[in-house]
Structure 1
């Protein structure tokens, strides 16, 4: 491979079809099965956009646009690297996108056959009906913008129906063409009825999966074509390799700092606490025993692993993820990310000896930096709390800094279930009262849209050109792109604020112990630690990466 990543062994693949264990994973997975307007996704104001359709008849819905965009961005051959998705399983989300695409492809095969029979044999009638619905769709779009021309949409269909009836009763031809004119407008209607049954069956399947995932009960993603069974199945092998690369990127220990955006994938930095004092020998000690930043970082790592232990028989911290990170600085408006490469990197993971070198040597000036991260994934993946520790020694000053990052819940768009298709109508006798009546899952304009798109799904670039496509924000990551701020949720905010105090104390305790063991006077560090320990108890979230300068 050109990127140097080894995807062997050849026949082994991730466990495709396995459900994500978190609610956030299932919520994002449900997007692939939704039939909502795609504008609902772009209305979140996260940088995503949809290109304007050249023909409204070919415009995709949310599920179609999401599945297409996700497949290209996460599994495409020439794609850029993606940001880690903390709190979810990105492979599962992509698997559901592929599964939803497959369900729609099976439907489109049937619709294409129907279009071939009714469209080729009765092409003039099909073109007239499609033209009428395209005009109606455009007029409805104008009405949505406040233009009175939208009221003509229903009139267009009524005129087309009247023309069909007139042509069937009094065709202006004789002989064979007279009989052909009688059915040329009616045959597409028969094809529409058959297509509607096909579309409704698929809609029931998609909405059932949507409801199961949004409701928290997992449903498997079935992708039979993703496991290569022989060397000739190049498409399945490409999918397998793409999933392997996606998993390797998710396991990478390289993160990216994007200015006020914070560390990509972890959320913005909301708090920062520094303990910086001079290194002087303790009383009775002539000279400090030399030690390095990595010695302090390793001691902090060991201390943080004890966080889940408590002297009381009560609750407490779940087991945190504690990891050494290499943080790469990028600009706030950077359009892509690029992880370090070379002999010190294996499968997107920087080796430990290189991490030690960065920790000890790259503390000032250009270059990547070392951070020790403690991460808690809570609320079924909807809250990710990360506390990062960095240790620096400049001249005779040792500085231990703890910074807090919080990634909030998945946007509410992804957690909503399928709405019931119904409307309120007046009762027959008690006309002043209303009742709700069920509507078909697929209405006539939707059947026409799906039937028109079906033959073009075999060449997606043309369909994207005519109907528009979803553009995802960059640098792209499945989790942070769709996350809200946690501070609007009282308990989530409490969890983020409460985690800072014990982590800060553990970090200071470990650092002071290393200094005491090496003959450093720790009195100033202890005083500063007590001061910070008191201030962190009244911590409040802020914009720590936004400087008033």
Structure 2
């Protein structure tokens, strides 16, 4: 449904590029998350980035020799979850461009597939022709990996001794081979060919690892590393796979622009962060002049006035910098359970490309203020710190009997976890100097160790069928309901300036909302004296410098 609308106007001419949707300059958080696709650390490292509300899971496979690293697991999980044919609804990723992250996951997978194609050719020549030898060496490395991975350090030493011992026996076997003729040559090749294949594979793996690390470092250094995925741009209508990938990316961009968000109890609004503050202005609607009735108005009239005033927030009486231009939007908030494992977006004639139509937004604002159903909020959002901090102030207006209530709530989404902002470190080892043995020096180590070459070689022939590879080696399971930004966000309150920005934004937004609401009340013959007194009291309360857990009630 959404993909069809999003596809309109796509340029199929040569050189067509994938459309990017997002705000300029918001690249730090985007690139930090995208860098995960190029990383070579253990997959379990991503568990360190989980917050208290959203937990990832690294499922183990049958053999540790086939297990993926972080970049492989992340790229596969993100592609499957965000572009899969049967994927569920996604949570919007405010402050980043999720399509860019997915593109880098695709680009990283493409680089690995090119490497794996070369490794597969080497495996076919040096492996299949000498399969008994390959199986023998694989068994040795699996045994060593199992022993080295044990908690007992002696077991790791035992694994190294086993490898050295079997290598010595192989050397003796080559010299004192009791066979001659073709069988003798084949048996010798069975021992030597896998070693030659390993040497060639090591050079290929080393070059690819350097390329991936350069891209990882480039993203975090602000070098503007682009994601090359030519397979996402169909050259002709017959390229089904490319067309499906293009539609998947278009659907992702359309869903990112949806005006429906989900409230999950103590977790707050998914994608916007928890609610840290709530301020309410509620007073009775009484006529300004005794004996006269007030003019009829609706909640939408008040909201529209607040909307117009919020658009001018960046203007002020002094030339002091102040607010950047905010994003002011009407939101429909749908309630879901605190422990909901999935969400579903509204469908029907009132929905167009994942967005609720304007007339339905107005109806919800005026009519759905009590009881079950979705609610309307007017949101003003600031994306700061190069995308690392997202501040959202949500405003709702309700009229029940003779009481009008203007409620303003503050939501803050902090920076992505520091795991994603760490740059690649050179692999080094500290050793003693040859002559001055009491002094030490650092020596550079290869990017790819022997056991890593073996792991990549045994995985290479299976990368063309990921489900089997996941069964053998394991996979990353993303937290649900999933959204790239909120899944690995830290709290902003540990950063002094981010916390200050969150609390400073609340007061101007609150006063603008109150001023606009009271102007509408005055124009419709409402006595605003009590509203004014109450507004003054609330304006004093909003200056409290302590954020609260407003979604957790002590009851």
Class of the TM-score when normalised by the shorter of the 2 chains: over 0.9
The separation in 1 between residues aligned to 2:153 and 2:464, in whole angstroms, is 36
1:120 matches 2:123: no
1:161 matches 2:164: no
1:136 matches 2:141: no
Match of 1:393 among 389, 393, 399: 399
Q: Normalization by structure 2: what TM-score?
A: 0.96
The separation in 2 between residues aligned to 1:88 and 1:494, in whole angstroms, is 22
Match of 1:257 among 244, 249, 263: 263
The separation in 2 between residues aligned to 1:17 and 1:282, in whole angstroms, is 52
Which blocks of at least 5 consecutive residues in structure 2 are unaligned?
Answer: none
Deviations 1:450-477 (A, max 9, x none): 0110001011110000000000000000
Deviations 1:211-243 (A, max 9, x none): 011222220000011011111100000001101
Deviates more, 1:442-451 or 1:532-541: 532-541
The separation in 2 between residues aligned to 1:123 and 1:406, in whole angstroms, is 57
1:30 aligned counterpart, secondary structure? helix
Deviates more, 1:44-53 or 1:56-65: 44-53
Deviations 1:90-136 (A, max 9, x none): 00000000000000000000000000001111111111111111111
Aligned match of 1:65: 73
Give 1:2 deviation, angstroms.
9.8
* 1:83 to 1:18, Cα distance in 2 relative to 1, 3 A: closer
The separation in 1 between residues aligned to 2:399 and 2:11, in whole angstroms, is 49
1:24 matches 2:29: yes
Q: Normalization by structure 1: what TM-score?
A: 0.97
The separation in 1 between residues aligned to 2:259 and 2:184, in whole angstroms, is 74
Deviates more, 1:457-466 or 1:20-29: 20-29
For the 8 Å contact 2:95–2:390, the answer to whether it is kept is yes
1:170 matches 2:176: yes
Match of 1:514 among 513, 520, 532: 520
1:487 matches 2:521: no
For the 8 Å contact 1:169–1:182, the answer to whether it is kept is no
Give 1:4 deviation, angstroms.
7.3
The separation in 2 between residues aligned to 1:32 and 1:118, in whole angstroms, is 30
Give 1:487 deviation, angstroms.
0.3
The separation in 1 between residues aligned to 2:37 and 2:344, in whole angstroms, is 28
Give 1:3 deviation, angstroms.
8.4
Aligned match of 1:7: 7
Match of 1:371 among 363, 370, 377: 377
Aligned match of 1:93: 101
The separation in 2 between residues aligned to 1:156 and 1:173, in whole angstroms, is 26
The separation in 2 between residues aligned to 1:476 and 1:363, in whole angstroms, is 28
* 1:163 to 1:468, Cα distance in 2 relative to 1, 3 A: same
2:337 aligned counterpart, secondary structure? coil
For the 8 Å contact 2:272–2:486, the answer to whether it is kept is yes
Number of matched pairs: 547
Give 1:148 deviation, angstroms.
3.7
For the 8 Å contact 1:11–1:228, the answer to whether it is kept is no
Give 1:53 deviation, angstroms.
2.1
1:314 matches 2:320: yes
2:127 aligned counterpart, secondary structure? helix
For the 8 Å contact 2:261–2:334, the answer to whether it is kept is yes
Give 1:11 deviation, angstroms.
5.0
1:47 matches 2:55: yes
2:49 aligned counterpart, secondary structure? coil
Give 1:391 deviation, angstroms.
0.3
Which blocks of at least 5 consecutive residues in structure 1 are unaligned?
Answer: none
Give 1:539 deviation, angstroms.
3.7
Give 1:174 deviation, angstroms.
2.7
1:43 aligned counterpart, secondary structure? helix
Give 1:16 deviation, angstroms.
5.8
Deviates more, 1:195-204 or 1:153-162: 153-162
The separation in 2 between residues aligned to 1:108 and 1:18, in whole angstroms, is 32
Deviates more, 1:166-175 or 1:353-362: 166-175
The separation in 2 between residues aligned to 1:300 and 1:126, in whole angstroms, is 72
2:543 aligned counterpart, secondary structure? helix
1:37 matches 2:42: yes
Aligned match of 2:231: 225
The separation in 1 between residues aligned to 2:175 and 2:187, in whole angstroms, is 10
Aligned match of 2:286: 280
* 1:64 to 1:500, Cα distance in 2 relative to 1, 3 A: same
For the 8 Å contact 1:137–1:153, the answer to whether it is kept is yes
1:470 aligned counterpart, secondary structure? strand
Matches within 5 A, 1:194-209: 194-209=200-215
1:83 matches 2:91: yes
